Amino acid sequence: MKKRVVIDCDPGIDDAMALLMAFASEELDVRAITTVAGNVPVCQTTENALRIAALANQAVEVAAGAERPITGEHQYAEAVHGSNGLGGVELPEGGKPSSRGAVELLIDEIAEGDGELELIALGPLTNIARLLMEISPSAAGKIKGIILMG
């Protein structure tokens, strides 16, 4: 049985590769992607996720999340990932982002997951922190696990 996962990310070059690998995996059922500001602003990470999903021919829901950290200043990594987060590579157009926000999508996927949903966090943890600290602390007991990129 495939692992049900939602991938929370800030698609730069590294996350683009991780998403493509996750889509190709026979072990993962990628239910959705949530995006967060990180390498580049959240509007760009969302666009990147949509384009990567389209490139991989995946009809997966992509929801935009946090535009900035809960506290402190944000610094983008444009010097590393380029202004579009993908080193200037232009991928084909993607679909449209979800009308739901990232945290709302996470709440719904957790509820539907019957304790089997795992979160894969590849970027800043702002969406997950908002979910577990501010909006739905009880969700923690309904998630099978959280896998973090270090």
Domain ranges of the chain: 3-148
Write phi, then psi, for 75 (nearest 5 degrees).
Answer: -125, 120
pLDDT for res 42 = 98
Name the residue among 12, 106, 110 with its Cα closest to residue 66: 106
> In this structure, are residues 32 and 6 in contact, taking their beta carbons and an 8 Å threshold?
yes
pLDDT for res 138 = 92
CATH of span 3-148: 3.90.245.10
Q: Which residues, 6+ apart, have CB-to-CB distance to 119 below 8 Å?
A: 5, 6, 7, 8, 106, 128, 143, 145, 146, 147
CA gap 57, 127 in Å, rounded: 26
pLDDT in tens, the chain (150 residues): 999 999 999 999 999 999 999 999 999 999 999 999 999 999 999 999 999 999 999 999 999 999 999 999 888 988 899 999 999 999 999 999 999 999 999 999 999 999 999 999 999 999 999 999 989 999 999 999 999 996
pLDDT for res 79 = 87
pLDDT for res 19 = 99
Global pTM value: 0.96
pLDDT for res 131 = 96
> In this structure, are residues 15 and 23 in contact, taking their beta carbons and an 8 Å threshold?
no
> In this structure, are residues 64 and 97 in contact, taking their beta carbons and an 8 Å threshold?
yes
Write phi, then psi, for 96 (nearest 5 degrees).
Answer: -100, 145
For the chain, how far is it from start to end, CA to CA, in angstroms?
27
